[in-house]
Structures are given as C-alpha cells and as structure tokens.
Structure 1
C-alpha cells in the first residue's frame, strides 16, 4: 500500500473533470437510500414499530445499490464508460450481491456489538469485498469476503488510518448540512478504489487461495 496522501492525490487526479459525475451519482444514491426512506417512514409518525420495520426493509432493498455505488467509482478510476445506470448493476446479480452485502453488514454489526476494535477490524478487513465481486463474477459471497480478508492482511491498520485522515472533511461536510458529502463521498470512494487496485497487484497469490 502507498501512503494516505498518495491515495488522496490519485483520487483527486481520477476525479479531475469528473467531479460533476461523482456528485450527481452521490446525490442519486443518497436520494434513494435516505430520501425515499424518510418519505416512506415520515407519515407513520409515532408508530415506531411500523416505521422501523419499513425502514429496515428499505435498507435491505437498497443493499445492492450500496455495491453499485462503490463500483461506480472503481469504474471511474479505471476510466471505464460511466453511466448513472451502473449504480443499479447490483440488481442484475441480485442474490449474490445482496447476500454479500447482507453478510458483510451483519459481520460488522456483530463486531461493533462486541467491542469497537473488533468492529473496526472487521470493517477494514471486508472493505474489498465489493470490488472483488465486480472483478470475479463467479466468486461466491463468502469467498469474496474471505478473499478481502486475506487481501487486507497486514494493511487493516493502514486502511483505518486512511479513513481517519478524512475525519476533518467529514466534520466540515456535516457543518454544510450534508452538502459537502456530494464531493467527499466521491473523494473517499475513489481513494478506496485505488487502494484495491494496489492490493490486488500486491497480492495476486490471494486469487489462487480461494
């Protein structure tokens, strides 16, 4: 892996001339995952059971969209053809993508329920799962998670520090009532995609293990 600044610089270079596309993709993603969720649950008022149940169901429905959002920026840094419809590619392979996203989410939640440190380790260890699923259409959800874990072996702390390096920008984005996230998310996702490209090149033998 390179340095945090290296990945940030590479992310900025990849986004040059594409900030608008990244921001619009982020806006679409946020409207669908958060905006529609709020629109559906707000009229339920104090009916907490119905509200949480509906929100939970919508979150599950949106899991493949989370994958599509990550992959959009992998395509961006690779200079592949970009379409906002690519955000919905996860629904073309629904069962595999949904299962992977669901299992990763459950693993991370369990990790944080135990203690903060296990949660952080699981989060960083499974960060490459989305990208692996994209590059290997035949790999199973569990194998993709195992491959991500092996790929990030020895780099989990570095991945955590990379996230921490964006903390100041996250705070500033919150102060702009969330508008700043339209630029911050593309920045962070592009940096993470570059990390994946490096780890994939650094540990080609991982592919032979799975």
Structure 2
C-alpha cells in the first residue's frame, strides 16, 4: 500500500484480502450506517449505537442476548466462501440444535429467544434451517446488497421491526404464560366422555 485512497463525505475505505497476505484498498459510497469493517467482513445497520443501546436496555435473559449475538456473528460476507456456503449471502443457515451447541444453552432457552426475536421482527424463517436477519438492523455485505435483501424481506412479507422498550420482554413472557394458562383451562373444561361399546348379544344355538 503506497498511499491511502482519498475518502470524501459519504464514502468509506474498504479493505479486502488480495489472497496473498496483503490488502487491497478501495472506496465506496455509504448508503447506511457502518457497523463493522475488516479485510473479510463489512456490514451495515440502521444505527449501530441505537441497536446496542436497545440491547443494553432490554430486561431480558442473558441467554437471549447470547443467541442474538451468535446469529449476527453467523452472517458471512466473505465472497471466498461463495462456492461452499450452505445458504445464500444475506441468510444464515442454522437450527435450534446448532444454536444450542454454539451458545451452550438449553433447548428451551434457544427456542424462547428465537421466538422473541421473530416476534419483534428482528429475524424471519426463510425456509427450514435458514434464517434471514432483519436487513434494516444488520447486514454482512455492501450497502447495495442491503437494499437487495430489504426487498427480499418485503417480498416475503417479513414482519415489521419493533424497537421494544425495556420491559417488553417481561410483558411478552407474561402474555405467553397467560395464553398457555387459558388454553389449559379450556382443555380441562372440555369433558370427554368415552361411551362403552355394547357387545352384540349372541343367540343361543339350538
């Protein structure tokens, strides 16, 4: 690297590996807020400070935070992996058992966290074993790819994103518990009576 490229307002320096142990520097327009950049990964979020502030304020179990961080980390923007990648760029291939192992958490903890983040629109299930994280919140790719993945989210009728207040996780849990109790009470009220089948009477033979 003889000199750094000139960076003007609305642009950023992008560093990529040249495959020989060196770096190739370039400049590209910024259409989002940059979250991270390195030789192998770059990403955008709507507002990195806001996202971390929300996560830091939410009164939620630490296991939920673990699951979300692991999902974000599973995004891969390295084009060198395109031939072997299990899911298309912009998507994450994982499942509950995989997240359990990665986070060292119980099935119940992973399942509850996944349901919560899907409920608030921070992720959606694209197909079995493949997730899409909300592309307005986090994208491992360029700003152009961010726009492409936002369109995919809208075309799939992905849920609207909620920026929850601090007590929302507790309220969500309480609402779910109330629904479970109501469903259980309804089941108990249903009295199922099993009628004994009458056996046919055999006629005595002459």
User: Which of the two has greater strand per residue?
Assistant: 2
Of structures 1 and 2, the larger Rg is shown by 2
Tell me if both proteins adopt one fold, taking TM over 0.5 as the criterion: no
Q: Which structure shows the bigger proportion of residues in helix conformation?
A: 1
TM-score band, normalised by the shorter chain? under 0.3
Asked which structure has the greater RCO (Cα within 8 Å, sep 6+), the reply is 1
